[in-house]
Amino acid sequence: MEGYHALIFLIILLYVISTAQYATHGIEPAASDRATLLSFKSLVDDDPFGALSSWNNGSLHYCRWRGVSCGRHHPDRVTALDLKSLRLAGLISPAVANLTFIQRIDLSDNMLDRSIPEELGSLRRLRYLNLSVNSLRGTIPSSLGNCSNLRLLNLRGNNLNGEIPPTLSRLSGLRDLLLNQNMLQGTIPDSLGNLSSLVVLSLDNNNLSGAIPPSFGSFLSLKTLAIQSTSLTGTIPPTLANLSSLNMLLLRENKLHGEIPHFAELPFLSRLDCSYNYLSGTIPISLGRLSSLEYLSLGMNNLTGEIPSTLYNLSSLKTLELPYNQLEGTLPSDIGNALPNLQVFRMYNNQLEGRIPASLSNASKLNHLELSANAFHGTIPSSLGALQSLSWLALAINRLEARKPNEWSFITALTNCTSLRVLDLGDNLLQGMMPKSIFNLSTSLNILALAYNHISGIIPTEIEKLINLTVLDVCGSDLRGTIPIEISHLWKLQHLDLSDNMLSGEIPPTLGNLMLMDKLYLGSNEFEGAIPPTLSNILSCSNELPYERCDMTKVLKVLSAARERLLS
């Protein structure tokens, strides 16, 4: 304990001495810079890469120490401290405030903790301050508003709490303000709207409350406005339509309500994400005038009415996500021609009807097509097999038909989709025997869901070809015969549901070899004999048919969760 107090005394003494040097003319200010750097090092508890080892070399001028830069006009004065990504642990010394010529501080991607020194606010020449991705806690010093030349302030990825200081609005030249991924609270200061030079404002992943300030409509140079995953309420200010330079508007996962404003005059907007809110009303026709739009996500809201035909004029669209709304109407027959660059098309859980347009095959880069939980009818277009990049095809909970063998031809066509990982056709009107071509699908297939159709016949032994299956769901069908032991060769299986069929015979003991199995459903069949003791190898399994298995909406949520795991 005495050694600890002695260390603290030494640090304070160094700080006092270096400060005193600025108050006298008898000591060179440059000597203070050296003392300040040593003070900084003294508070670094861990330096696993030895990044600061050169800082002990008395023969090496401190301007040549690693991470230290000095100026041209004042060659002995420190102008930059760049020690990013070195896994440094410890505190930031308040003595850094004595580096009065410093313009750039980058300590990002380390393991620094405790608070940000209030003294940094005295650095009037500072233009760049990056303390992101550390373990800093406490509040953001209000004194940072005195760093009048600051152009970038990046504090993202820390454990900062408290409110956003209104004093930051004094930083009239600030271009980048990144406070995301912290634990900031309170409302967003309306005075931040005075930062007319802002280009990037990111407040994502905090605990903010209140509304988006209407003053944000004054950011005429702003290109990125990101306020995702907070708890903002209120409406989206119509003034945001004034942000003529805006490239990205990201308001995902808040509690915003009301209607979507008309954003027609945002010629550079390429990404608009207002998903996971409580927005209502119809999708504005004016969104069809956003000629640069590549990403549009409005899912998980309460939007109603038809999808405006103007959206299909946005030929630059790569992602169109409108799931979990109450949208109705049909998809245009030429959608694939109108949106040739489409890569992700998610419309599940709406009230859409009509046929699935065959022209979707003309969107040749399409890799995610998710239309589940709507009222689509007719056959599944075989033309989808032309989508060689297709990795996710989910058409469950519709009224899609395959009553004749030739209406299953889409399965043969899908064998051309060599990247296919998910095929979900559950709860439709598919009938007849499972075509053997289904087992010629991509060996990359992870999820095969055909539940709650009228598929008959046996489970073919060719099932073993789908070597990467993690989910196989054919419950609620008319399958007969025995469980082929070849299923036991699918060693990656985690979820196997054969329940509610007419399967018979004995349960293969080899199912117990599927050590990754998490869920096994075999209930409501006609099996005989004892349950193989080898099944005790499988954890968390059930031979019952739980009530929730009859709810295909819950099945869809399981598959949605699987999607997120696969994408990550």
Work out whether strand 89-90 and strand 111-114 pair parallel, antiparallel, or are unpaired: parallel
Contacts of 560 (CB under 8 A, 6+ apart): none
Most distant CA pair in the chain: distance in Å?
99
SS3 of residue 509 by DSSP: helix
Residue 544 CB neighbours (<10 A): 12
pLDDT band at 80 (very low <50, low <70, confident <90, very high): very high
List the structure tokens of 67: 């991470």
Percent of the chain at pLDDT > 70 equals 89
- Separation between Cα atoms, residue 147 and residue 96, nearest integer Å: 14
pTM of the model: 0.87
Q: Across residues 207-216, what is the average pLDDT?
A: 96
Q: Would you say residue 562 has pLDDT above 80?
A: no
Q: Across residues 422-444, what is the average pLDDT?
A: 93
Q: Which CATH architecture has domain 367-568?
A: Alpha-Beta Horseshoe (3.80)
pLDDT for 470: 97
- Separation between Cα atoms, residue 111 and residue 48, nearest integer Å: 11
The CATH superfamily holding the domain 115-258 is Ribonuclease Inhibitor (3.80.10.10)
Q: Across residues 220-242, what is the average pLDDT?
A: 96
SS3 of residue 550 by DSSP: helix
Identify the top-confidence range among 3-7, 95-99, 552-556.
95-99
| Per-chain mean pLDDT for the chain | 90
pLDDT for 402: 94
* Cα separations in angstroms, 522 against 39, 147, 414, 455: 68, 67, 29, 17
- Separation between Cα atoms, residue 359 and residue 312, nearest integer Å: 13
Identical fold, 115-258 and 367-568: yes
List the structure tokens of 217: 């409509």
pLDDT band at 30 (very low <50, low <70, confident <90, very high): low
- Separation between Cα atoms, residue 145 and residue 26, nearest integer Å: 32
- Separation between Cα atoms, residue 185 and residue 164, nearest integer Å: 8
pLDDT for 549: 36
Residue in the structure block whose two tokens are 């095969």: 448
- Separation between Cα atoms, residue 176 and residue 221, nearest integer Å: 11
Contacts of 108 (CB under 8 A, 6+ apart): 84, 85, 130, 131, 132, 133, 134, 154
Q: What share of the chain is helix, strand, coil (3-state, %, to 5)?
A: 30, 25, 50
pLDDT for 420: 97
* Cα separations in angstroms, 219 against 60, 144, 146, 205, 242: 47, 21, 21, 21, 8
Task: Tell me the domain boundaries of the chain.
Answer: 1-88, 115-258, 367-568
Q: Which residue in 147, 133, 38 sits closest to 88, CA to CA?
A: 133
Higher pLDDT, 128 or 263: 128
Q: Would you say residue 18 has pLDDT above 50?
A: no
Q: Would you say residue 555 has pLDDT above 60?
A: no
Q: Would you say residue 534 has pLDDT above 80?
A: yes
123-132, 277-286, 534-543: segment of lowest average pLDDT: 534-543
SS3 of residue 559 by DSSP: helix
33-37, 57-61, 270-274, 432-436: segment of lowest average pLDDT: 57-61
pLDDT band at 219 (very low <50, low <70, confident <90, very high): very high
pLDDT for 196: 94
Contacts of 69 (CB under 8 A, 6+ apart): 63, 78, 79, 80, 81, 82, 104
Q: Across residues 530-542, what is the average pLDDT?
A: 71
pLDDT for 3: 53
